[in-house]
Amino acid sequence: MRMQDLIEKKRDRKELTRDEIAFLIRGYTRDEIPDYQMAAWLMAGFLNGLTESETQALVEEMLYSGVVLTHDHIHEPKVDKHSTGGVGDKTSLVIAPVAAACGVAVPMISGRALAHTGGTLDKLEAIPGFRTDLSLIEFKAVLKRCGLALIGQTKEIAPADRKLYALRDLTATVPFRPFMCASIMSKKLAEGIDGLVLDVKTGNGAFMREYEDARKLAEMMASLGRRMGKRIVALITDMNQPLGRWVGNAVETMEAIETLQGDLESDFAGLCLELAAQMIVVGEIEIDMNRARSRARNAITSGGALERFRYCIEAQGGDPRVLDDPKLLPQARRASTIIADRTGYVTGIETGEIGRVVMDWGGGRRCLEGAIDYSVGLYIHAKLGDRVKIGDPIITAHYNDESRLDEMQRRLRSAYRVEEAAPHLEPLIKTII
Ligand code: URA
């Protein structure tokens, strides 16, 4: 088989066989196929599409390019959650301990900040000492001891995706459903899970801005996972404004801790309870969603979930005192509040831009190994539909780099639209598949 023939086939809109996809992925993972040929094939696929059976083959080949974990020593149902990425989305830090406290084992392999969206690993690493680079043996041991373990993708897990993701990032081939589906599902299925809850974001802060694209991605991932024998639920949720009140790393960790301590009033807490309840049902701990919701809520009000998080932080080398004293998390030196310059209702928030401001002010990386300022963050005073008067606070920025203050204030102010008429508000959870 020759790679140029497979590029030609995709260029001419023909379907690749299972063996051809295997040749492609195995050859690329073993460095036998160069980046320039793979890049050409990726772009041909992006432009001409992939069939269902090509996508299925891609997922399976990427999954088996590395280790697929098993957890025979753990008798609880193994269920994870994956979000396609958003702004202010710190749900993993809450739902993993909640689900664990309810009898679900959560083997979570997470990612870092990507484009304007934050990453669970960066939020966890804001906790002094917290290690997300456990070996797979350590990962399994923490999972057994605490009921949850939270790490980054190791070199053994879906190595084909590690290589391909970097190439897609450089060749403008990330936002394509079959590639996203293969990338996400290969990593998640390698965790050794029985079931998965998918949170597919849609809106101006999501990769899939349009609802229909998000729905098709959710359906593609759900049916693929089910065909592979996993119990899957997919939620399509709104990302037309940041989730919760804080956007950043340490500040989001703090907000997650407050939620675990019992602050359940926010949109963020509501989504956490719903996702955790779905994990409890997917794990077959409960069959009824209302009972699962009240179990999830009890895990928080009883303090059980917070204790789970404490064990996990300790087991992964972090300082658990952050749970009692959030000031131990990195703190920004300066704060500045942006106020409303007109009276009316908040009718639009450019969510992607809010995320980019945090990234550009130091909260994200410029390159893969770059340093990150965990303390930078934004507090969202005004959410969609809120009525504001001239002079009311909209956002408080917590930052260190004073030289960019004017630019950031300008960008944040123009990310807000305030109008006379109240907007129609979308539900946070739009669809469950
Ligand atoms: N997250 C992933 O892991 N892969 C993608 O392709 C997009 C988001």
With a 6 Å cutoff on the Cβ, whether 180 touches ligand 1 is yes
What are the backbone dihedrals phi and psi of residue 176, each rounded to the nearest 5 degrees, phi first? Answer: -135, 120
In angstroms, what is the span from residue 54 Cα to ligand 1's centroid? 18
Per-residue pLDDT of the chain (433 residues; tens, 9 = 90+): 999 999 999 999 999 999 999 999 999 999 999 999 999 999 999 999 999 999 999 999 999 999 999 999 999 999 999 999 899 999 999 999 999 999 999 999 988 777 788 789 999 999 999 999 999 999 999 999 999 999 998 999 999 998 998 899 788 898 899 999 999 999 999 999 999 999 999 999 998 999 999 999 999 999 999 999 999 999 999 999 999 999 999 999 999 999 999 999 999 999 999 999 999 999 999 999 999 999 999 999 999 999 999 999 999 999 999 999 999 999 999 999 999 999 999 999 999 999 999 999 999 876 666 789 999 999 999 999 999 999 999 999 999 999 999 999 999 999 999 999 999 999 999 999 9
pLDDT recorded at residue 368: 60
With a 6 Å cutoff on the Cβ, whether 184 touches ligand 1 is yes
Q: The domain 330-419: what is its CATH number?
A: 3.90.1170.30
In angstroms, what is the span from residue 141 Cα to ligand 1's centroid? 27
Q: The domain 79-323: what is its CATH number?
A: 3.40.1030.10
Count Cβ atoms below 10 Å from residue 30 Cβ, excluding itself.
11
Contact 249, 236 (CB under 8 A): no
Atom of ligand 1 nearest to the CA of 85: 8
With a 6 Å cutoff on the Cβ, whether 328 touches ligand 1 is no
Residue 72 bears catalytic tag: no
With a 6 Å cutoff on the Cβ, whether 174 touches ligand 1 is yes
In angstroms, what is the span from residue 213 Cα to ligand 1's centroid? 15
Catalytic residue among 161, 194, 238, 373: 161
Residue 161 bears catalytic tag: yes
Residue 92 bears catalytic tag: no
Structure-derived torsion over alpha carbons of residues 177, 181, 182, 184, reported in degrees to the nearest 10: 130
Give the torsion sign (CA, 330, 333, 338, 339). Answer: positive
Residue 110 bears catalytic tag: no
In angstroms, what is the span from residue 34 Cα to ligand 1's centroid? 22
With a 6 Å cutoff on the Cβ, whether 83 touches ligand 1 is no
Catalytic residue among 65, 83, 183, 375: 183
Cα separation, 111 vs 83, in Å, equals 10
Beta bridge partners of 236: 200, 431
Residue 298 parent element (H or E):
helix 289-301
Catalytic residue among 82, 123, 177, 188: 82
CA distances (Å), origin 266, targets 157, 199, 260, 411: 35, 18, 12, 26
In angstroms, what is the span from residue 180 Cα to ligand 1's centroid? 5
pTM: 0.94
Domain 3-49, architecture per CATH: Up-down Bundle (1.20)
With a 6 Å cutoff on the Cβ, whether 183 touches ligand 1 is yes
Atom of ligand 1 nearest to the CA of 182: 6
Radius of gyration of the chain (CA): 22
Ligand 1, residues 55, 165, 196, 220: which to mutate, most atoms within 8 A of Cβ? 165
pLDDT recorded at residue 77: 98
Each domain of the chain, given as residue ranges in start order, spans 3-49, 79-323, 330-419
Residue 383 bears catalytic tag: no
pLDDT recorded at residue 233: 98
